[in-house]
Structure 1
């Protein structure tokens, strides 16, 4: 009996020692899982709720969001979702994405800033973003992709948007008219150059999944970027491009050193 009593006391001591309390750096405990002041401050800095009139109200609102989140996570675990193949695969992918992001960020943050000459060259190579930036008003025809390649050839050869409409009508293809504005800064340099060389009123075709859009520029409004604003955008773009080049160069270097084995039928074609 004495041993039973001592064992009972031991279990009680262990249980009470493991029970977490909302004190110190722990601002709340949800089913014995802690929410720390660090978690709360991080969430508060990223997502201050609308309508909160002071810091105390904002902190209380964010804490409730964290508690709700914790409860949903606990329920998902109780349902065994954290053991499912879908979760494990997405968790692995998320970890890999985070590590890659940190690798690239460390490289970017420790690299020298692009020189003034690099920034100037970038601006010159992207006139649609900077000196020649424009807002275009487009008149458009949206239509399903033709099955007959001969129809596609006729559409491509059309010199006006009306000619495109005539080809579609003669081929029995239904289409709709539309209009929109587009900023030339969003276009890749090669596409911008191709469109800029078109004669006035000449359409350009943008094929997409299952349909295409024929467009013609009906108005141009100059919106050039220059000075400090242009330099800041160019600087960030050069840094982004340099980060992309770093990733590609590092992959090439690592592949050259790595031992990679493929199951038959999965290897890439030999170049």
Structure 2
């Protein structure tokens, strides 16, 4: 049921994208007409565009069936025609939403155009990355980790963290934190090296039974290595994943550089509660997410990768 609901939502969003494209300056659409709705054409180009939108919104999922997409466009066109008949296209909220969506589409396509010009990493760059991250590849391990979250008094967290790290194994850590803390939660996960992100340099030096404890605002978290399973990856096996990872990094860097340059050239004035000297000052926009390194057949993990 959830999969069907997600697909229906994606199809609906794709249909909205088609509507926005139709409301913009129209390019000559000479593709085949697939259906007419009260005399208005739905074309192959519109169907292809809507399908691309759905695929982009659902990475890794298969493309929706063409007939289903077409029915979504038909139903969308019926809704649009009724909305126009009821003069909803003049509604201030609708006009505001259309303008916001137009700006979003322009910005998104500008970013796509910019990043499409970023060259792929070279073979030397891929090899260099492979060789400089042995814990991710040539010396890669799969880790079975026990995670214990415990609520403790702030003034006891550091001392208890040291005691947890000195405890002899996973069971001892659990017993210690249950005795000294409250709201203790114990979970066990299996994670590939590349999924550990900034924890990898430390975890990769640990043996089974060793613990790293990290004080938290509400207590502490203890990670104990339960088992280490060697699972190295050759350069040939990792090449495609590294290429995509480095390419995504280059795209992100190019976008950040372009945004910085655009900001430097623009005049941006903050007014009202965001005027200079007010509190709080305008915050910087959210940073682009870190690219994720995903190797073939890696166990699922909750953490993002890097290295």
Whether TM exceeds 0.5 here: the answer is yes
Q: Deviations over 1:162-196 (max 9, x none)?
A: 554355334451213221111111232x4211222
Give, in angstroms, the shift of residue 226 of structure 1.
1.0
Tell me the equivalent position of 1:219. Answer: 227
2: CA distance, partners of 1:237 / 1:257: 31
- Provide TM-score, normalisation by structure 2: 0.61
2:154 maps to 1:149 = yes
Partner secondary structure for residue 174 of structure 1: strand
Tell me the equivalent position of 1:168. Answer: 177
1:245 aligned to 253, 259, 266, which one? Answer: 253
Q: 1:61 to 1:211 in 2, by over 3 A?
A: farther
Partner secondary structure for residue 135 of structure 1: strand
2:255 maps to 1:255 = no
Kindly indicate whether the alpha-carbon contact (under 8 Å) linking 2:35 and 2:42 is maintained by their aligned counterparts in 1.
yes
When Rg is computed on C-alpha atoms for both structures, the one with the higher figure is: 1
Tell me the equivalent position of 1:6. Answer: none
Q: 1:69 to 1:149 in 2, by over 3 A?
A: same
36-45 or 229-238, larger mean C-alpha shift: 36-45
Tell me the equivalent position of 1:16. Answer: none
81-90 or 216-225, larger mean C-alpha shift: 81-90
Tell me the equivalent position of 2:121. Answer: 114
Q: What number of residue pairs does the alignment pair up? A: 232
2: CA distance, partners of 1:152 / 1:48: 50
Kindly indicate whether the alpha-carbon contact (under 8 Å) linking 2:130 and 2:235 is maintained by their aligned counterparts in 1.
no
Give, in angstroms, the shift of residue 220 of structure 1.
1.6
Tell me the equivalent position of 2:8. Answer: none
Q: Deviations over 1:42-98 (max 9, x none)?
A: 55685655xxxxxxxx54444223223434555677665862656644553343233
- Provide TM-score, normalisation by structure 1: 0.68
Give, in angstroms, the shift of residue 103 of structure 1.
1.5
Tell me the equivalent position of 2:145. Answer: 138
Partner secondary structure for residue 142 of structure 1: strand
Q: Deviations over 1:112-154 (max 9, x none)?
A: x4333221221123223311222111122234x54x3123213
RMSD: 3.6
5+ residue gaps, structure 1, are 1-23, 50-57
2: CA distance, partners of 1:210 / 1:40: 52
Kindly indicate whether the alpha-carbon contact (under 8 Å) linking 2:144 and 2:228 is maintained by their aligned counterparts in 1.
yes
Tell me the equivalent position of 2:292. Answer: none
2:239 aligned to 219, 225, 231, which one? Answer: 231
Give, in angstroms, the shift of residue 40 of structure 1.
2.9
Kindly indicate whether the alpha-carbon contact (under 8 Å) linking 2:127 and 2:235 is maintained by their aligned counterparts in 1.
no
Kindly indicate whether the alpha-carbon contact (under 8 Å) linking 2:144 and 2:190 is maintained by their aligned counterparts in 1.
yes
1: CA distance, partners of 2:213 / 2:98: 42
